[in-house]
């Protein structure tokens, strides 16, 4: 059986709960038209519970934008895997470049607010796998790293460190998103052939880190200025299993067209 396509909406710090519920209502019909495509929406933490209730028994799954790696404790402002499970989450984004303080456009200040490291990302991946939540692990290079010819090296290192606690038999509970930092929120989409090459490289690296079966099984998404106008070309390569969609996921018609293209 081939890998199922997956399209994930990352709403970031956008949409109130009523706005999010309205958008989901508009997208549900499209998701029903494409039962062979897995569709996930990742709202802010404050909307997880109400959206989880709205999405119950529908073809659209709920995801979170981040997680802390411990089950409970004195960690002000953090959300645990247990809390995500309680909200109905089946997926969770980890290691997004914005959470690492790596921005494609002019970043907000102060950067010290964004503190994810390779070590914390590895902790989060492991905690999510243990909680039976699918991690959507983000990896990708900055514009400077690409200009310096370090793209493959940077992505391989991020993968090796993030997956060091994941056993091969746990790979069924894993998705990876290649998100070149320079393409996120900038309108600069990666060339389709290069996106496919990087997804293939990621698959080879996962196989090397774990085993060949895991490399074949893991779903690899592309993310970075994905739109209805460019997604078909990106999806055309068999190495790309779907998309992690940012700004375009805030517009029901745009996101629906991306799901249909998948």
Read off the pLDDT band of 93 (50, 70, 90): very high
Q: Domain total for the chain?
A: 1
φ/ψ of 240, rounded to 5, equals: -95, 120
Lowest mean pLDDT among 33-47, 96-110, 165-179: 96-110
Helical axes 151-162 vs 118-130, angle rounded to 10°: 50
Task: For residue 249, give its domain range.
Answer: 5-261
Residue 105: pLDDT band with limits 50, 70, 90: confident
Q: Is the pLDDT of residue 1 over 60?
A: no
What pairs with residue 64 in β-bridges?
92
The whole-model pTM stands at 0.95
User: Among 104-108, 110-114, 159-163, 184-188, which stretch is predicted with the lowest mean pLDDT?
Assistant: 110-114
CA torsion sign for 229, 15, 52, 122 is positive
Query: CB-side exposure of 167: number of CA atoms within 13 Å?
Result: 3
Q: How far is CA 170 from CA 34, 142, 155, in A?
A: 27, 29, 21
Q: What is the mean pLDDT of residues 153-179?
A: 93
Instruction: Kindly state the average pLDDT of the residues 256-261.
Output: 98
pLDDT at residue 112 is higher than 70:
no
- Predicted pLDDT at 103: 87
Distance, in Å, from the CA atom of 147 to the CA atom of 90, rounded to the nearest integer, reads 37
DSSP classification of residue 168 = G
* pLDDT reported for residue 2: 80
Catalytic annotation, residues:
96, 179
In this prediction, residues 47-76 reach a mean pLDDT of: 96
CA distance 102 to 86: 30
Q: How many angstroms separate the Cα of 211 from the Cα of each of 130, 155, 201, 261?
A: 20, 18, 14, 31
Q: Is residue 119 classed as helix, strand or coil in its secondary structure?
A: helix
CA dihedral over 192, 221, 209, 212, signed as positive or negative:
negative
Percentage with pLDDT > 90 across the chain:
86
Confidence of residue 170 (pLDDT cuts 50, 70, 90): confident
Which of 18-32, 157-171, 182-196 is modeled with the greatest confidence? 18-32
Q: Is the peptide bond before 42 cis (omega within 30 degrees of 0)?
A: no
CATH number at residue 238: 3.20.20.70
pLDDT of amino acid 110: 65
Each residue's pLDDT tens digit, 188-240: 889 999 999 999 999 999 999 999 899 999 999 999 999 999 999 999 999 99
Burial 129-165 (b: 16+ CB within 10 A, else e): bebebbbbbbbbbbeebbeeeebeebbbebbebbbee
The candidate with the shortest Cα–Cα distance to 183, out of 148, 216, 230, 123, is: 230
Q: Does residue 84 register a pLDDT over 60?
A: yes
pLDDT of residue 146: 96
Q: Could you count the other beta carbons within 10 Å of the beta carbon of residue 212?
A: 13
253: which residues sit within 8 A by CB, 6+ positions away? 26, 228
pLDDT at 21 over 90: yes
């Amino acid at each position: 059986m081939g890998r199922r396509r997956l399209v994930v909406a990352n709403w970031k710090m956008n949409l109130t709960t009523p706005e999010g519920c309205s958008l989901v209502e508009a997208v549900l019909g499209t998701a029903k038209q494409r039962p062979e495509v897995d569709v996930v929406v990742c709202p802010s933490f404050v909307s997880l519970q109400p959206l989880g209730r709205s999405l119950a028994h529908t073809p659209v799954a709920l995801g979170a934008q981040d997680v802390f790696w411990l089950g409970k404790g004195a960690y002000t402002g953090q959300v645990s895997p247990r809390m995500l499970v309680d909200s109905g989450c089946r997926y969770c984004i980890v290691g997004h470049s914005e959470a690492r303080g790596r921005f494609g456009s002019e970043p907000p200040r102060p950067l010290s607010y964004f503190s994810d490291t390779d070590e914390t990302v590895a902790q989060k991946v492991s905690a999510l796998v243990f909680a039976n939540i699918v991690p959507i692990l983000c990896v990708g290079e900055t514009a400077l790293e690409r200009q310096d010819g370090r793209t493959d090296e940077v992505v391989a290192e991020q993968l090796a460190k993030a997956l060091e606690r994941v056993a091969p038999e746990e790979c069924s509970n894993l998705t990876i998103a290649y998100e070149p930092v320079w393409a996120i929120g900038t309108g600069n989409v990666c060339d389709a052939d290069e996106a496919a090459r990087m997804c293939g490289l990621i698959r080879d690296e996962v196989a090397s880190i774990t085993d060949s079966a895991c490399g074949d099984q893991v779903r690899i998404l592309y993310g970075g200025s994905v739109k209805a106008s460019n997604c078909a070309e990106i999806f055309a390569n068999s190495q790309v299993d779907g998309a992690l969609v940012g700004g375009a996921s805030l517009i029901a018609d745009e996101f629906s067209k991306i799901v249909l293209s998948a």
